Amino acid sequence: MIKNINDKLYHAELDLSVSIAGVTLKNPVTTASGTFSARESGAFYDISELGAVITKGVSDVPWDGNPTPRIAETYGGMLNSVGLQNPGVEDFIKHELPLLKSYNTKVIVNVVGKTINDYCKTVEKLDDEAIDIMEINISCPNIKEGGISFGADPKMAAEITREIKRLVKKPIIMKLTPNVTDITEIAKAAEYEGADGVSLINTLLGMKIDVHRKKPVLWNKTGGLSGPSIKPVAIRMVYQVRRAVNIPIIGLGGIMTGEDAAEFLMAGADAVSVGTAALVDPTAPVRIKNELIAFMQQNEYKNLQQIRDALA
């Protein structure tokens, strides 16, 4: 377990808190969806150290995901084709949520679906639960539109935001896919329809071939690329979206260190998520938080806004 580097001492001079969609996180470090589980991650560190946890994607009914292999290592990154396997929203509410609520941290639930109706059913069930925010993963393929992702088209992104916003009282954050020509168009559409924030980026679509066995490494052939190799793409997108919308941004994609987290804040993010780094080092979210604190001290930042304003 990583010990909090004396929270009290720092609290006197450092303010790590940030408000996202009306919810105050005590620090900006969260877990990226699909790379965190309360029981398994909680075996390595105290989850209460984090500003918020973002859960694995949950759907209205259980999803089986893809056959294996689902994971491939790439140069400075990894591909996954888990296929959003999850036991469904009811199982989540019964088994995972009570455990998450036992920690002193905010709970952000990631929601996935195959149709707008799927998403609606899930968010309605979650709206009555003791969660703080919903993060809507719109990178999923829309099966009614031939499998093109909801987040790939501003019209679809607008429609899904509007439908969900009509149903729920809880704040919603739209999680954007980077597999688009202009991500600012999607972010603007989400903001226009009332999204309380955006998070970016999801994984980049990729592929790896085993040249000796002459076949794709993943059963699914293609998968989502994540890890340090995607960070420059993510930074560029956060920077662009910050200049296109006013709602809060959760920035992620390849954050491995506290300086990486600071880079996202400087690009315009309000909070950050740690994904692949937590697979590579189970205690990464807490380590990164502590490194961010050290970075702020060394560079005499008193709060996150000062980092966000620092870019020349």
Partner 1 sequence: MFKKIIEAEIIENKKIAEGIYRMAVKAPETAADARAGQFVNIYLRNKIMLLPRPISISRVYDDVITLIYKIAGKGTGELSAYLPGEPVRISTSLGNGFQLEDVFKETDSNHNLNKVKIIALVGGGMGVAPLVGLAQKIMNEKEKRSFKDDDLQVIAIVGFQDEPILMKEFETCCNHVYIATESGSTGLKGNVLQLIERKGLKPDYCFACGPRPMLKALANRCENANIPLQVSLEERMGCGYGACVGCVCRIKAKEEGVKSIRKKVCTDGPVFFGNEVVWDD
Ligand X SMILES: Cc1cc2nc3c(=O)[nH]c(=O)nc-3n(C[C@H](O)[C@H](O)[C@H](O)COP(=O)(O)O)c2cc1C
Instruction: Catalogue the active-site residues.
Output: 140
Instruction: Give min distance, CB of 41 to partner 1, in A.
Output: 6
CB atoms within 10 A of CB 145: 13
Task: Answer yes or no: are the C-beta atoms of 74 and 225 closer than 8 Å.
Answer: yes
201: left (phi over 0), alpha (psi -120 to 50) or beta: beta
Nearer to partner 1, 83 or 194 (CB): 83
Count of residues near ligand X by CB under 6 A: 25
* By the rule CB under 6 A, 220 interacts with ligand X: no
Query: Which helix H or strand E contains 74, and what residues bound it?
Result: strand 71-74
Instruction: Give min distance, CB of 302 to ligand X, in A.
Output: 27
* By the rule CB under 6 A, 57 interacts with ligand X: yes
Rounded to an integer, what distance in angstroms lies between the CA atom of residue 124 and that of residue 47? 27
For 286-306, b/e burial (b = at least 16 CB within 10 A) is bbbbbbbbebbeeeebeebee
Among 37, 184, 240, 306, binds partner 1 (CB under 8 A): 37
Helices and strands, counts by H and E, the chain: 12, 16
Instruction: Give min distance, CB of 59 to ligand X, in A.
Output: 10
* By the rule CB under 8 A, 65 interacts with partner 1: yes
Interface residues toward partner 1, by CB under 8 A: 1, 34-37, 39-41, 43-45, 56, 62, 64-65, 67-73, 75-78, 80, 82, 85, 227-228, 276, 278-283
Applying CB under 6 A, which residues contact ligand X? 32-35, 56-57, 80, 82, 84, 110, 137, 175, 202-203, 226-227, 230, 252-255, 274-277
